[in-house]
Amino acid sequence: MDDDTFLRCLESSMLSDLTLQGIEAISKVYMVNPKGDESKKRIQISDNGEIERIADWMLETDGTSLKKVLSTKDVDSRRTFTNDVVEIFDVLGIEAVRKAIEREMNHVISFDGSYVNYRHLALLCDVMTTKGHLMAITRHGINRQDVGPIMRCSFEETVDVLMEAAAHAEQDPLKGVSENILLGQLAKIGTGSFDLLLDVEKCSSAMELPMNFAQDTINEMMSDKARREFESRDRHGIETPWIGSFSTTPSHWPSTPAQMTPISHGGFSPSATSDTIGFSPAYSPAYPSSFH
């Protein structure tokens, strides 16, 4: 090889492979002053204690190399970010990926002025990263999770999922939202997470409370002063539940028409002036034992 050919090969290698300065993966850099973008401004507290947003000059690049940029001197690592979620996952982990996806989705949706509640996007990002890795919102991603067949069929491949579940006799515990909505049931979330269970064996040893138990309990809760004030009042009609004119206790039903306002001779409506009160067909809750 003559000297001229050798020098040409050396020149070509140096120009294409040799890095004099900068980062190899970044091909071009733009200087930007984010005057209109509040999210890119630097936040600081003034001497008066007020929060200020300062528009510093920033560098936007073609290409990304997050690890090398973060290790570069004089780079503000708190405001440095990239839209390459795969690189973010390699450098910072799955939680940073979740936040990056949420940020990018918010920028895309709000670009034309549309509004979507933050919680919807946050929930979608949580689903995509809940397994510790990125998961696509497709039948090859979230629909391959270990969930019941009814939840899987609510997304895609409805017939295929149900046929496979029937062929293998799969069971669905119905612990999610989709399957309970499909079956018209209350989902096991929030207040629906709890059920009322009755211990039948405990019922055999249950104690029957006396009829005046509620009255005695309330009397015990009242202070002496409150009890004296209450007893000093002129109580008529149905002003208080301690008299028999408006008591659900069978033994306390009056033998005369109860006083009510504005009708004083009717126990209930329609008015009745007999001992049978205003019920139809004229009996109390404990009939016939309450009237003799």
Q: Which tens digits make up the pLDDT trace of 202-236?
A: 888 887 766 666 666 666 666 666 666 666 665 54
Which residue type, as a one-letter code, is found at position 114?
S
The runs of H, that is alpha helices, within the chain are: 3-17, 66-70, 85-91, 94-109, 118-129, 149-153, 158-167, 178-182, 200-203, 213-221, 224-231
- Taking the whole predicted model, whether its pTM rises above 0.85 is answered as no
Token reading at 156: 């895609």
pLDDT above 80 for 121: yes
Residue 269 has pLDDT above 70, yes or no: no
Task: Provide the residue ranges of all domains of the chain, joining segments of one domain with +.
Answer: 22-80, 83-135, 147-192
